[in-house]
């Protein structure tokens, strides 16, 4: 890294912006990161053991997927106690140790918050279902049946089947957008909002630096329980009843904004806390803009532009970036190519014989985007989707919709630390999911020894982004030059960069009118100024 970049006047801008703006974040899926106690399941102590590895990547923060007390029917997104650690992951003391160790290494810690629903094993729901007049009777979404005994509305759950389950004790149905064991919280109720803010406060007091708020647009429903209209056939496969409806009334209620503003008011009372909304669905873009508009709402939103795309194209990238222009009142985007819910990108975006080259291009593209960038554990190694046989599936969605839904388990397999170890150095016993032979061959120890590995390239690129104000904070102009060539211009103050990508397996012409002058900061797959071989990409600091 050249020292001149660090000393430019533009670098001073980094001192005037929050730590999270332009940050690189590493998503840790604790079940699969590292197992410290040898039971086959990753844990918080294992995360702590791996912090040196994460810090060496050059990221600014880690995002921990749920580790709270849970029956694990949806692997922690069914919370039974918001303010404790599930025993399979350790204890609150283990969490405190992790926080201290992360902060000592200059890493911020972001944790998931699941406000739309709890587990049916949560004490709140246990009390709520006992009667219609107990103190928490209306903390969840309960409704009488229709005169014929059928559910109150036609709403469908994400995981298949009606979004309503009968409860004989109350003689009512309760709502659930996901599993029947994930009853919907009534977030319209101020007392429920107060309780959730108390949860946030609990973790803020323990030193967390931010929250990713799961399924935020599912957190409020239409109190009139109006039926959703049918969705027009768009030609895409429909694997669930959920796909047959326009989800107008089971989610996305306007009152969510008021809850968001309460969350932001709380986090603003602590120092430099980062708030990130997860928002999916047909109206995701407008909702993400709404949820991040102005200084009283969330800092950023986490969209699905890339997570389920079956191809990476210049048009896809330019549209995603154009949808988040810089301007007064506009929110700040966060991007991910992979996560725990989506198939691995290399398995979606390229043929097996092109994976190594495409992984290098993909890494350079991620660090070139305007916004925060999120690296999912194993992405820095080039992990691919593992084919999990039906009898080994853990994912409830995949089991329910087999074989039409690609299993989320295939993206949740354990991180391979050692190529020659029977269990990849992840554990000393049978891992909860198989690692996959392709991924074992990409183990950390093997890539550490190879200076040309994707792991070393990822470190180089993340370091470049961290120390280059144009890449981290600059405005962006994205141009789809052709169906295979993409150009990104980043600029802040008097500093500017240009990134050029050939997203295809054939050579491409250098974009007409684009200067090849400047300092090459990084290049992959044989790319040079004026020359774009298959999957070639280069990043140039322009001469002004």
Contact (Cβ atoms closer than 8 angstroms) between residue 401 and residue 328: no
Instruction: Please provide the average confidence, as pLDDT, over all residues in the chain.
Output: 94
pLDDT of residue 15: 52
Catalytic residues: 214, 278
CB 68 within 8 A of CB 74: no
Is the pTM higher than 0.85? The answer reads yes
pLDDT-based confidence at 396, cuts 50/70/90? confident
In the chain, what percentage of residues exceed pLDDT 70? 97
The angle at the Cα of 534, spanning 528 to 539, to the nearest 5 degrees, equals 35
Residues 6+ apart with CB under 8 A from 257: 290, 291, 297
Q: What is the structure's pLDDT at 405?
A: 66
What crossing angle do the helices spanning 256-268 and 190-205 adopt, rounded to 10°?
A: 30
Q: Which residue has the higher pLDDT, 5 or 437?
A: 437
Whether 170 and 142 have beta carbons less than 8 Å apart is answered as yes
State pLDDT tens for residues 188-235.
999 999 999 999 999 999 999 999 999 999 999 999 999 999 999 988
Task: Look at residue 128 and give its three-state secondary structure.
Answer: helix
Query: pLDDT tens digits, residue range 496-510?
Result: 999 999 999 999 999
Closest to 414 in 3D by CA, of 42, 18, 9, 1: 42
- For 303-314, the pLDDT digits (tens) are 899 999 999 999
Q: Is the pLDDT of residue 323 over 80?
A: yes
Residue ranges and CATH numbers for the domains of the chain are 3-120+188-465 (3.20.20.80), 475-541 (2.60.40.1180)
Section 54-74 average pLDDT: 98
Residue spans of beta strands (DSSP E) within 245-387: 274-278, 300-302, 332-336, 372-376
State the DSSP H helix or E strand holding residue 533, giving kind and residue range, or none if neither.
none
Q: How far apart are the first and last CA of the chain?
A: 20
pLDDT of res. 167:
98
Q: Is the pLDDT of residue 184 over 50?
A: yes
pLDDT of residue 5: 32
More confident residue, 17 or 209: 209
* Residue 9 pLDDT > 50: no
Q: What pLDDT, on the 0 to 100 scale, is given for residue 502? A: 98
127 pLDDT exceeds 80? Answer: yes
Give the pLDDT band of residue 2 (cuts 50, 70, 90). Answer: very low
* H helices present in 176-255, as ranges: 190-205
* pLDDT at residue 7 in the model: 32
pLDDT over 60 at 24, yes or no: yes
518 closest CA partner among 501, 541, 496: 541
Position 92 confidence tier, pLDDT thresholds 50, 70, 90: very high
Q: How far apart, in Å, are the Cα atoms of 467 and each of 15, 208, 368, 446, 475?
A: 12, 25, 13, 28, 16
Alpha-carbon Rg for the chain, nearest whole angstrom, is: 23
Distance CA 58, CA 375 (A): 11
Query: Would you place residue 38 in the very low, low, confident or very high pLDDT band (cuts 50, 70, 90)?
Result: very high
* Predicted confidence (pLDDT) at residue 6 exceeds the cutoff of 60: no
Sheet containing 164-167: give its strands across: 142-143, 172-175, 164-167
Average pLDDT over residues 334-363: 97
pLDDT at position 544: 65
Close Cβ partners of 226 (under 8 Å, ≥ 6 residues apart): 153, 248, 249
């Amino acid at each position: 890294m050249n020292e001149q970049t660090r000393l430019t006047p533009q670098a001073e801008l980094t001192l005037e912006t929050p730590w999270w703006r332009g940050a690189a974040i590493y998503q840790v899926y604790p079940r699969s990161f590292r197992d410290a106690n040898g039971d086959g399941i990753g844990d918080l102590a294992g995360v702590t053991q791996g912090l040196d590895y994460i810090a060496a990547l050059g990221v600014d923060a880690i995002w921990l997927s749920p580790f709270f007390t849970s029956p694990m029917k949806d692997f922690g997104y069914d919370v039974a106690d918001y303010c404790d650690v599930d025993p399979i992951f350790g204890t609150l003391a283990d969490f405190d140790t992790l926080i201290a160790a992360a902060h000592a290494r200059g890493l911020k810690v972001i944790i998931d918050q699941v406000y739309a629903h709890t587990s049916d094993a949560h004490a709140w729901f246990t009390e709520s279902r006992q009667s219609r007049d107990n103190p928490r009777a209306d903390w969840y979404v309960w409704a009488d049946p229709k005169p014929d005994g059928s559910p109150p509305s036609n709403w469908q759950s994400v995981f298949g089947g009606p979004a309503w389950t009968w409860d004989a004790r109350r003689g009512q149905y309760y709502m659930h957008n996901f599993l029947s064991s994930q009853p919907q919280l009534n977030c319209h109720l101020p007392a429920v909002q107060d309780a959730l803010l108390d949860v946030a406060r609990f973790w803020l007091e323990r030193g967390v630096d931010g929250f990713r708020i799961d399924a935020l647009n599912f957190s409020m429903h239409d109190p009139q329980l109006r039926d959703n209209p049918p969705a027009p056939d768009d030609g895409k496969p429909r694997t669930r009843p959920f796909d047959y409806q326009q989800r107008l009334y089971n989610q996305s209620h306007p009152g969510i904004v008021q809850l968001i503003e309460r969350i932001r008011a709380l986090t603003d009372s602590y120092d430099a806390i980062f708030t990130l909304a997860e928002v999916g669905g047909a109206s995701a873009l407008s909702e993400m803009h709404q949820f991040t508009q102005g200084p009283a709402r969330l800092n950023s939103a986490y969209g699905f532009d890339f997570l389920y795309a079956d191809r990476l194209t210049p048009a896809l990238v330019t549209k995603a970036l154009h949808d988040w222009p810089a301007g007064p009142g506009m929110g700040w985007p966060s991007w991910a190519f992979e996560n725990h819910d989506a198939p691995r990108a290399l398995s979606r975006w390229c043929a097996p014989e092109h994976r190594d080259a495409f992984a290098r291009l993909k890494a350079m593209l991620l660090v070139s985007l305007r916004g925060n960038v999120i690296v999912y554990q194993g992405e820095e190694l080039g992990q691919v989707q593992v084919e999990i046989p039906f009898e080994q599936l853990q994912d409830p969605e995949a089991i329910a919709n087999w074989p039409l839904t690609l299993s989320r388990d295939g993206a949740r397999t354990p991180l391979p630390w050692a190529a020659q170890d029977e269990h990849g150095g992840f554990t000393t016993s049978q891992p909860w999911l198989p690692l996959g032979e392709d991924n074992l061959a990409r183990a950390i120890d093997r890539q550490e020894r190879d200076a040309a590995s994707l792991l070393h390239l990822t470190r180089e690129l993340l370091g470049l982004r961290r120390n280059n104000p144009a890449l981290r904070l600059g405005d962006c102009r994205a141009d789809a030059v052709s169906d295979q060539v993409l150009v990104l211009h980043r600029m802040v103050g008097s500093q500017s960069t240009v990134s050029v990508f050939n997203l295809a397996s054939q050579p491409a012409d250098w974009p007409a009118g684009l200067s090849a002058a400047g300092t090459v900061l990084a290049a992959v797959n044989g790319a040079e100024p004026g020359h774009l071989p298959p999957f070639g990409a280069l990043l140039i600091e322009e001469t002004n």
